[in-house]
Structure 1
């Protein structure tokens, strides 16, 4: 649909058609009622009996059934026209807002959607130095409005054609057909249960009009925003509602936490301990502040000005259960050529460390652009699972990876299902325990990805790349020469902070101890870590990515390793 077509659409005509059809359906319904009371019921009370009476009564009942079925179909046609008016009006309203915002920014929108503006600072209508960035953001909104209108047009046309076919063939006079149509209409906005996969969810979502979708987003944002199979733009809209509500709820809880209790409790004349009330209050305050810091990081990135160097962000998942979950994409994965999912490890949560994971996604988008400037890349930070929050004992346990397998599988499947146009080049990156999570999902469920990257891995659940279900030529791994993950040994994955820490100089970085000196891993040793053979070991069978000298556990998003990841993501 073109800009001019939607902008000039006369919704009054559509509204008039809706009202006319609803009036027709109402009048027809009254005739059906009159037929029932003045003919059928009267004959039934006449006490006429015999074979002829039985036949006549049966014929009348059958005819009455046809009338009632037709009445039901007419009502549903009116409802379809009402939905057409609501959905086209919604798309038109969004288009008009885009046009108004463009005008205010000094940007002209052509009938075909093209945008122009005055670049000369000396001109009276100079659009300003940020016009190109504003135009890029407006272009996305314009595309969404036109797409909504197209979708509404196609879906309403499909529904009306169904009723036309029913009327033409006579099936619309069948009570079973009318009842099936009624149930389908009433159940259309019922959200599929948890057993429905991304493909089923996408088919259901596509069968809704933009008006129905908007209603679900507004009324059930927490369910729509976290459902694999629903497009990124719609998930983002729903999750922005949820995150705003959760921010307000948590801030209110923090504001009403109450005064700080007395810190110390006297045990005797010369002994005191921290009071249990103070411990509880302090822990709750720290938890709320940490959660709010993570939400603030998300909202800050979501609200950033869109520039070529700083693309639009989309919130594809959010909740505050347990330590919180968040899925944030840089660029729209449904329209990007390359889609990379980054799975962080120990400590990943909706907390004050979330900003660093988002920055890594931004870095990968930039690296991919530098490697292949003709294609677009979306990079997703996937904190969609309950990650371990401590090195020991939690990160020594594979239950966190086990618990994430289905979630990661469904998410990656959903990315394939909702992608528009030709299939994208999909990559998954696992860092630290996140690599274990990725490895377990690949091993046990399979992931629809083209390339796999492991960095700083304590093992991925298999001893050979060929056991991951991906061509080993497309399995990459890197480990820095100063990455302390080597100390995550199968005998005691916590050695790096227990016996190891007593023997070596230690500083804690991002949840892992940075131990020096470092023994290295590029020799002939067939080293096995906490969760299997080191994927960066030559015997694993994958391909090694380079790292800079001195690369520690959190240093992979810079230098040679970032450049290599960018080339892999870009398909180079």
Structure 2
């Protein structure tokens, strides 16, 4: 069975390679073919690819079935042969086809010879033990054969169904209404989860063809979100790379036009020149190609974060709805993990600049949380999933080279508008984790850094119960809350960290200093400064509440160097954190810093082992 499974796997790999080649061929054709017919062909190609994916998945499942049961039955067989061909004959006994074991007869045992009687009793007991082991293995083998036959039959039936109807059976009226535009999937995360789980694989594919971003829906199981979002990632990445190649080719045709040089003068009535018409046609194609590359850096970063990493799940990919691309990556399976964390970042966070690093930080934190769990009696079998959440438009201050965006970003980071918008998305994400989690609820920790802590704090204040057990804020400008109860959390379950040299402290120290200094400026700068400060004060600039790290209602955790037990009788020396960004980063020798250790302790539900601050 296992040999057949290997052969089936090889055939599946060859089939998948041909499907991938077909997909690349279609994408190549789409580069130069536009219009309604091209769009229809693209949709059909996607349908064919999804159908092929189902066939490939069914074959892989069948191969896994043969491999799993082959190994299991092989184990039973080896154990049986070891007893039947080895132990039993060596003991001078025999066994029949039903597993009955017979001990040799000791002369005199039935004639009253006590020694012979005792020896016979010992042999009969040994035979009974052999027989019990043989019959148990025979029963396990028979049960395994039955289960294997049922699983193989089910797999073959599924494969036959896809062979006859690659696109799947006709969808149900409820789903057809959605596909026709007359209805919408449920908006409530729990209702959506139940609706999604009721669909067949073909119906899920039909919904994906209808909405290429269906994988972003909160409440969908993580494995399905990852599957469909990776499909979208591959499709968008192929298109963006194709657009980049087209832009390069057009730039090579007219490098001067690409930088605005030697552009023909505009045509006028009665004065139409071919060179201007050629330029306008070129410019239209060039602008379209450049627009197609807009999200390429983000898509490449996401691909780097999840590509070839089956332990990571792409829970959200959105290059369409926000001013910036959004992406969410989970390390570990949040649907099955005992402990789940969601980290929201802050100022200047972008997908292309941060998703890879945040995913690595999530990986390191998860490993540290697992280490702490395995070193703590009673927690060794608990699991962890750490999620990097870039699901909102974080404020951006690119610098002096882009003063317009920097001014807008300065306004954004000093006000809570962006955080409030992000909080709505974040709290829905929390709800989705709860709706999709297998069994009982996970221990969910909400983590916020910098402006992301404000977003997290506002999310926790949204109406309803969102399943969050603990919250941790670091480098925070404020969360517009002063007590755990305002965050709908229990006392002792809100934690905060701030390094001594974190410039975020200026958020709290600077306003009084600026207000005191403004009147001392020479005229007319004092008038301008006081007027500007009045406008900012009236708009609520920077007024995000008390510092969580100094709030006695919250638990402050350490950020300086520390030593902690390694679980094996030794100690681990942890580096301290500095500045505004060190909190989740590894220290020397690729070990967590004190802040990383504390983050992992809270996430693992072991906050009593965290290092307290002063």
**TM-score, normalised on structure 1?**
0.57
Report the counterpart of residue 458 of structure 1 in structure 2: 477
Is this contact kept in 1: 2:484–2:493, CA < 8 A?
Answer: no
Report the counterpart of residue 531 of structure 1 in structure 2: 544
Counterpart CA distance in 1 for 2:481 and 2:191 is 32
Deviations 1:405-454 (A, max 9, x none): 22111111110011112221111110000000001111233532011010
SS state at 1:199 partner: helix
SS state at 1:353 partner: helix
Give the Å deviation of 1:293.
Answer: 3.2
Query: 182, 189, 200: which is aligned to 1:198?
Result: 189
Question: When the two structures are aligned, how many residues end up with a matched partner?
Answer: 375
Report the counterpart of residue 432 of structure 1 in structure 2: 450
Higher mean C-alpha displacement, 382-391 vs 288-297: 288-297
Higher mean C-alpha displacement, 430-439 vs 254-263: 254-263
Report the counterpart of residue 235 of structure 2 in structure 1: 245
Decide whether aligned partners of structure 1 residues 357 and 91 sit closer, same or farther in structure 2, where only a CA change above 3 A counts.
closer
SS state at 2:297 partner: helix
Give the Å deviation of 1:91.
Answer: 6.1
Query: 375, 381, 389: which is aligned to 1:382?
Result: 389
Question: Which protein shows a greater Rg?
Answer: 2
Counterpart CA distance in 2 for 1:114 and 1:327 is 42
Decide whether aligned partners of structure 1 residues 260 and 371 sit closer, same or farther in structure 2, where only a CA change above 3 A counts.
farther
Report the counterpart of residue 207 of structure 2 in structure 1: 216
**TM-score, normalised on structure 2?**
0.54
Deviations 1:292-314 (A, max 9, x none): 333223212322355xxxxx100
Is this contact kept in 2: 1:290–1:352, CA < 8 A?
Answer: no
Counterpart mapping for 1:52-131 below 5 A: 92-98=58-64, 110-111=71-72
Report the counterpart of residue 547 of structure 1 in structure 2: 559
Counterpart CA distance in 1 for 2:365 and 2:439 is 23
Report the counterpart of residue 523 of structure 2 in structure 1: none
1:314 equivalent in alignment to 2:326: no
Counterpart CA distance in 2 for 1:384 and 1:201 is 20
Report the counterpart of residue 326 of structure 2 in structure 1: 325
CA RMSD, 1 decimal = 4.3
Counterpart CA distance in 2 for 1:478 and 1:110 is 51
1:421 equivalent in alignment to 2:406: no
SS state at 1:339 partner: strand
Give the Å deviation of 1:319.
Answer: 1.3
Counterpart CA distance in 2 for 1:235 and 1:442 is 24
Counterpart CA distance in 2 for 1:264 and 1:88 is 50
Report the counterpart of residue 246 of structure 2 in structure 1: 256
Report the counterpart of residue 225 of structure 1 in structure 2: 215
* Structure 2 unmatched ranges of 5 or more: 9-50, 77-150, 162-170, 263-285, 375-379, 398-408, 519-540, 561-575, 587-592, 607-614
SS state at 2:316 partner: strand
Give the Å deviation of 1:209.
Answer: 1.6
Decide whether aligned partners of structure 1 residues 305 and 90 sit closer, same or farther in structure 2, where only a CA change above 3 A counts.
closer
Give the Å deviation of 1:360.
Answer: 1.7
SS state at 1:420 partner: coil
SS state at 2:342 partner: strand
Report the counterpart of residue 19 of structure 1 in structure 2: none
Decide whether aligned partners of structure 1 residues 215 and 368 sit closer, same or farther in structure 2, where only a CA change above 3 A counts.
same
Decide whether aligned partners of structure 1 residues 241 and 305 sit closer, same or farther in structure 2, where only a CA change above 3 A counts.
closer
Report the counterpart of residue 302 of structure 1 in structure 2: 306
Counterpart CA distance in 2 for 1:412 and 1:183 is 31
Is this contact kept in 1: 2:213–2:229, CA < 8 A?
Answer: no
Report the counterpart of residue 414 of structure 2 in structure 1: 396
